[in-house]
Structure 1
């Protein structure tokens, strides 16, 4: 895809002697939402960490907005607008809600910090009510709001959401997916990495299914759901 915002080719990565990613190709266009699906251990989180420069690539290339970032430092990756909201939220539990949000603008978005803070509070009114509260005392759903809000403070051009619905109640999951759809409607490109297959396919323009460190299938949600074998073997629906 020549006009891709993110273009990954032949990506290999892993931990120590273990190779997890085995030649991943993936494109995301500006403003597109793509779901990356697969079971535990498929390599989804490793892919996120490698693209975000938290884990070094062993082979292949990663281009963002036409620039090669394969060997870039993670600060440079963030500064370019590729923002990763990791699995497990990873907020700073001993800092306040406001302090967590302000830290989201450390590498990118400082000039518009006040404007972006208001935007986050408009999206998550509960965070406005809890600015002075210690983040570790928030509920699980509120902590996920804080993690996403902190990511938005960095003015992302591509937002990677790694298992955002993990551990949330069904009602909060519905709210979360509605929020993701609204962010996408505002023009934000999103890579949604999820095990909640049905709801991911409802909002994603395209979806890719990973297995054993490789992408086995890709297409629209309708195309993936139309295959009985694919549904039963890979999607669990």
Structure 2
């Protein structure tokens, strides 16, 4: 695996908090145009991985290569400017600002000159947001807030979009809608790293997947093959 073939490549990544090592040598890669699922139950290190990739938490060892450029040790603002964009778990919208203001903040560091064009693209993707663009973001439903968070990420013209638990807290119907949307964004050519606890639906839309347990990748490969793996079915699906 060379950085040239991949949008994102992570090798031997270690990180943690204080004396606790959470990531114990993670290896993963996302190629052009792929949806790659990073799956695991709560507390296995998925959020820590995202914090390191976004520059919020320093790596203790290993390297991160994004479009051929080393990003470990680079600050969060420069990572956004490079086009590695995250939609964080819990949405992290600004509740007192309206929808349009939240979206415009997505282009604060990157793609500012294309703001009007990208805003139109987001509104085409999410007609509900256009209808309510002057509404305070905090008054939206959970599903609408998730749309807003993804729309805000799209405003930065991501070279890679990392979605952290996008289905969390949504009704089954909205979860279905969310996964359909992720597939549609990817069909337009956007590589996506999908970090999820929802193993079944993530594997349905991903091309490849990594299963993380206790800070290490314990299984990786073609998503359909992983979905059929008896060990995974036993561990995650109770089958």
Structure-1-length-normalised TM-score? 0.98
The match for 2:169 is 167
Work out the CA distance in 1 between the residues paired with 2:227 and 2:201.
Answer: 12
2:145 matches 1:143:
yes
2:101 matches 1:99:
yes
Work out the CA distance in 1 between the residues paired with 2:193 and 2:150.
Answer: 13
Q: Which runs of 4+ in 1 moved over 2 A?
A: 234-237
Residue 162 of structure 1 and its aligned partner are, at CA, apart by: 0.3
- 1:94-121, Cα deviation, whole Å (9 max, x unpaired): 1111110000000001011000000000
The match for 2:192 is 190
The match for 1:29 is 31
Matches within 5 A, 1:106-121: 106-121=108-123
Partner-residue secondary structure (3-state), 1:106 = coil
- 1:190-223, Cα deviation, whole Å (9 max, x unpaired): 0001111111011100011000000000011221
Residue 61 of structure 1 and its aligned partner are, at CA, apart by: 0.5
Residue 236 of structure 1 and its aligned partner are, at CA, apart by: 4.6
Work out the CA distance in 1 between the residues paired with 2:134 and 2:227.
Answer: 45
Work out the CA distance in 1 between the residues paired with 2:13 and 2:231.
Answer: 27
The match for 1:54 is 56
- 1:41-88, Cα deviation, whole Å (9 max, x unpaired): 111111011011111111110110000010101110000100000000
Count of residue correspondences: 237
2:78 matches 1:76:
yes
Work out the CA distance in 2 between the residues paired with 1:49 and 1:23.
Answer: 15
Contact 1:209/1:234 (<8 A) preserved? no
- Paired residue for 1:209, among 208, 211, 219? 211
Work out the CA distance in 1 between the residues paired with 2:162 and 2:223.
Answer: 19
Work out the CA distance in 1 between the residues paired with 2:50 and 2:233.
Answer: 24
Work out the CA distance in 1 between the residues paired with 2:238 and 2:93.
Answer: 31
2:16 matches 1:14:
yes
Residue 226 of structure 1 and its aligned partner are, at CA, apart by: 2.3
CA RMSD of aligned residues (A): 1.0
Change (3 A) 1:41 1:164: same
Q: Can you give the 5+ residue segments of structure 2 that lack an aligned partner in the other structure? A: none
Partner-residue secondary structure (3-state), 2:112 = coil
Change (3 A) 1:214 1:235: farther
The match for 1:218 is 220
Work out the CA distance in 2 between the residues paired with 1:229 and 1:58.
Answer: 31
2:6 matches 1:4:
yes
Structure-2-length-normalised TM-score? 0.97
